[in-house]
A and B are shown apart, each in its own frame.
Chain A
């Protein structure tokens, strides 16, 4: 079992697994940065629509972020499973 785990590092650097992991990290980063961007836009915007529809905007950002986090998690679990196999 220990040797199998050691081989995971070798397998990890080959092929598409590296790219897929970066993709998962990028999606998680996107999900995490979107709330800060939304608040930044709201605080620095002169647009009345953005300021009066703050709750609506927050709700959309939260739904978007949660979906992104879920996708990222699924990709990463898939990577770990393929490494284990």
Chain B
């Protein structure tokens, strides 16, 4: 009897683990890759026009910051209201995500205002590097939120 009960528990855990994995794969394909598609198409068009591609062409005006904001917003929407289990941990994860969202939004606003000046020292490669690192951090944070949203 006890072994039957433990096997049920293991089945449930395995099922839940599979659900979490499915959710993460869905998030990677339909949130991360799809939102990066405009940048990849832009790079493809540049490449087809014979331009030598560098990392500076990837996000010269901080477009990755906008994508970070979108991904964080999706993750917050996923984690909020997904049951009372681990509620405090979920709220903490969502709080970190909100903070990164606010950082990215305000930095994008500052950078886009700064680009109005022609003699601005903010180079495209520096902005790209910064956006890329911010994007990686937001991916990390959002994946945590998506994971927590499915754990029951």
Q: What is the CB-to-nearest-CB distance from A3 to chain B, in angstroms, rounded to a whole number?
A: 9
Complex CA–CA separation, A62 to B97 (angstroms) = 15
Q: A29-B141, A37-B144 given as contacts; is B151 within 8 A of A43 (CB)?
A: yes
The residues of B that contact A83 with a CB separation of less than 8 Å are 110
The residues of B that contact A65 with a CB separation of less than 8 Å are 92, 95-96
Tell me if A16 is interfacial: C-beta within 8 Å of chain B: no
Contact assessment for B148 and A25 in the assembled complex, using a CB-CB cutoff below 8 Å: no
- Per-position binary interface string of chain A over residues 1-30, scored 1 when its CB falls under 8 Å from any chain B CB and 0 otherwise: 000011111101110001001101110110
Chain A interface residue count, Cβ-Cβ cutoff 8 angstroms? 40
Complex CA–CA separation, A26 to B151 (angstroms) = 24
Contact assessment for B107 and A39 in the assembled complex, using a CB-CB cutoff below 8 Å: no
Chain B interface residue count, Cβ-Cβ cutoff 8 angstroms? 45
Tell me if A36 is interfacial: C-beta within 8 Å of chain B: yes
Contact assessment for A39 and B147 in the assembled complex, using a CB-CB cutoff below 8 Å: yes
Determine the main DSSP class of A at the interface with B.
helix
- Per-position binary interface string of chain A over residues 51-83, scored 1 when its CB falls under 8 Å from any chain B CB and 0 otherwise: 000000010011001101100110010001001
Which of B13, B121, B122, B140 sits near A29, CB closer than 8 Å?
Answer: B140
Q: What is the CB-to-nearest-CB distance from B102 to chain A, in angstroms, rounded to a whole number?
A: 8
Contact assessment for A38 and B141 in the assembled complex, using a CB-CB cutoff below 8 Å: no
Complex CA–CA separation, A33 to B145 (angstroms) = 8
Contact assessment for A36 and B93 in the assembled complex, using a CB-CB cutoff below 8 Å: yes
